């Protein structure tokens, strides 16, 4: 029986062990997509206990706790922090095979030097150990980033955001080991026809200093906001919706639809999809002009439980996989940008793992001389960032494209300790390649394979997002 989550966890071949320990383990991290609040970084947030750090905003954990039968008071309610932590240890000890089981143990080991298995009988000792470390100040927000060797953090920011905390971080000379850059996230524009849309356009008008009354002024304000984001280091956008349409209606019709929506009138489905297409084509061309990467997240159905949405709101653990996202309209949308030379570097993320092959094949239809992997199949996302999901994703990347061009892992998390997900991915990557070597499917050339591992872990994202990290300390 192997030792539990030891130094060679998941590294079950000699090739895997060499690749990880020599080429992956010590590489820095570029976390190009996450949901960390830049305010927490600037203020160097100190966490009062492990419950706040682990359970404060992590809907991954909340879903498991509910599934194990805990009521909402013990999950997101007003229950005592110690009792919430005890409920989590009980849940996790039963969640065998879950990536959360591995992530949580990695976080304990790497940040708290605690190797106790997480279960109710060890809960008090773990809680006390973590409380002692947190009280010492050794794991304030900035220390976590520095200890994790994170060189770039890409936050998620609405076009209306002031980005005041990004500016403060740029001006802070003591924060010289990591760049925190905004990511342009215009999801609210894709919600045209919703009750919230007119109010959002009013907010955007205020942020842009110009009244948005038509499609032209909307584009003018968006361009100004993108230029502002760009001045603070933004290197990418990110959009999330159920799927990306390609309903071409032209700028004149988009103008009519926008005015109709601002007047509170009901839109047809054709009008809604047409406006989404036209604004996305405009944004895509602007991203290309600025040299940004366009990230597209799709295949998610939001707020499946109306009862729980009404009780505690969105982003609380009630989203699911939508298996109806059409690849055809996505392909047509990318082609429209490509036809005019306006297709930016692009990353595609589908929540539906059955789309792996289709996405990898689609990605290889759009290329640019000198750009490795211009259109990427992004890292296994959300419900797929587990061992099986990552292996399937890597297999598809290998079978349909060039693994050596892949930009690697991201956290997509609100938890500051989630950087161990990069280690988890790197171990799985090295395990995957090591098994191919052991099975005789892959020739053992340490120089080539080591270069692939090192670049997928760090270097490819550095180049793809055109980033220049600070000098390593």
Domain architecture of the chain: domains with CATH: 47-135 (1.10.2020.10)
Q: Do residues 47 and 465 lie in contact, with contact meaning Cβ atoms separated by under 8 Å?
A: no
Is pLDDT above 70 for 346?
yes
Three-state DSSP at 294 gives: strand
Query: Mean pLDDT, to the nearest integer, of 14-18?
Result: 98
Percent of the chain with pLDDT over 70: 99
Q: Do residues 131 and 145 lie in contact, with contact meaning Cβ atoms separated by under 8 Å?
A: no
Is pLDDT above 80 for 168?
yes
Tracing tokens 């490509």 back to the chain, one arrives at 338
Which residues lie across from 320 on neighbouring strands?
A: 301
pLDDT score for 136: 95
Q: What is the pLDDT of residues 72-123, one digit of tens each?
A: 999 999 999 999 999 999 999 999 999 999 999 999 999 999 999 999 999 9
CA pair distance 197, 116, nearest whole angstrom: 49
Percent of the chain with pLDDT over 90: 98
Q: What is the pLDDT of residues 126-151, one digit of tens each?
A: 999 999 999 999 999 999 999 999 99
What tokens were used for 74? 């013990």
Is pLDDT above 60 for 429?
yes
pLDDT score for 473: 33
pLDDT score for 1: 81
What tokens were used for 370? 């000198």
Share the mean pLDDT of the chain.
Answer: 96
CA pair distance 360, 364, nearest whole angstrom: 7
pLDDT score for 472: 38
pLDDT score for 30: 97
CA pair distance 115, 62, nearest whole angstrom: 23
Tracing tokens 């927000």 back to the chain, one arrives at 141
How buried is residue 72: exposed, middle or buried, by Cβ count under 10 Å (0-12/13-18/19+)?
Answer: middle
How buried is residue 293: exposed, middle or buried, by Cβ count under 10 Å (0-12/13-18/19+)?
Answer: buried
Is pLDDT above 80 for 177?
yes
Instruction: Give the angle 56-62-64 at the CA atoms, nearest 5°.
Output: 145
Is pLDDT above 90 for 470?
no
Query: Mean pLDDT, to the nearest integer, of 444-457?
Result: 98
Q: What is the pLDDT of residues 258-301, one digit of tens each?
A: 999 999 999 999 999 999 999 999 999 999 999 999 999 999 99
Band of pLDDT at residue 468, cut at 50, 70 and 90: low
Instruction: Give the angle 397-400-401 at the CA atoms, nearest 5°.
Output: 70
Is pLDDT above 70 for 322?
yes
Q: What is the pLDDT of residues 21-32, one digit of tens each?
A: 999 999 999 999
Is pLDDT above 90 for 2?
no
Is pLDDT above 90 for 39?
yes
Band of pLDDT at residue 251, cut at 50, 70 and 90: very high
């Amino acid at each position: 029986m192997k030792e539990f989550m030891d130094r060679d966890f998941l590294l079950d071949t000699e090739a895997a062990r060499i690749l990880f320990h020599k080429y992956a383990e010590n590489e820095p991290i570029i976390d190009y997509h996450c949901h960390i609040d830049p305010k927490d970084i600037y203020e160097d947030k100190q966490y009062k206990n492990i419950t706040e750090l682990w359970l404060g905003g992590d809907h991954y954990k909340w879903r498991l706790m509910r599934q194990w039968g805990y009521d909402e008071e013990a999950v997101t309610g007003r229950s005592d922090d110690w009792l919430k932590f005890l409920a989590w240890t009980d849940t996790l000890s039963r969640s065998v095979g879950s990536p959360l089981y591995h992530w949580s143990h990695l976080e304990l080991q790497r940040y708290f030097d605690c190797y106790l298995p997480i279960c109710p009988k060890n809960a008090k000792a773990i809680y006390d150990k973590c409380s002692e470390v947190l009280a010492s100040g050794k794991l304030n927000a900035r220390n976590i980033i520095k200890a994790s060797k994170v060189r770039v953090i890409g936050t998620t920011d609405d076009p209306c955001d002031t980005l005041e905390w990004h500016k403060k971080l740029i001006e802070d000379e003591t924060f010289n080991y990591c760049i925190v850059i905004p990511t342009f996230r215009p999801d609210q524009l894709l919600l045209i026809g919703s009750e919230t849309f007119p109010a959002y356009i009013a907010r955007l008008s205020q942020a842009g200093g110009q009244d948005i009354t038509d499609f032209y002024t909307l584009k003018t304000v968006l361009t100004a906001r993108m230029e502002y984001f760009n001045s603070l280091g933004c290197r990418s956008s990110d959009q999330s919706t159920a799927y990306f349409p390609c309903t071409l209606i032209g700028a004149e019709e988009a103008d009519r639809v926008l005015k109709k929506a601002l007047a509170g009138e009901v839109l047809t489905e054709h009008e809604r999809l047409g406006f989404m297409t036209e604004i996305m084509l405009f944004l895509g061309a602007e991203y290309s002009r600025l040299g940004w990467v366009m990230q597209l997240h799709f295949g998610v159905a939001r707020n499946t439980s109306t009862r729980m949405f009404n009780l505690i709101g969105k982003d609380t653990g009630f989203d699911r996989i939508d298996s109806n996202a059409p690849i055809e309209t996505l392909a047509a949308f990318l082609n429209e940008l490509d036809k005019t030379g306006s297709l930016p570097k692009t990353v595609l993320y589908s929540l539906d793992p059955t789309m792996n092959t289709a996405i990898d094949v689609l990605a290889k239809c759009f290329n640019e001389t000198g750009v490795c992997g211009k259109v990427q199949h992004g890292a296994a996302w959300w419900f797929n960032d587990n061992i099986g999901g990552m292996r399937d994703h890597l297999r598809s990347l290998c079978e349909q494209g060039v693994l050596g061009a892949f930009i690697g892992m991201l956290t997509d998390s609100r938890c500051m300790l989630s950087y161990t997900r990069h280690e988890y991915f790197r171990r799985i990557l090295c395990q995957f390649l090591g098994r191919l070597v052991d099975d005789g499917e892959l020739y053992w050339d340490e120089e080539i394979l080591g270069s692939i591992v090192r670049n997928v872990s760090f270097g490819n994202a550095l180049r793809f997002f055109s980033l220049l990290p600070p000098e390593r300390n």
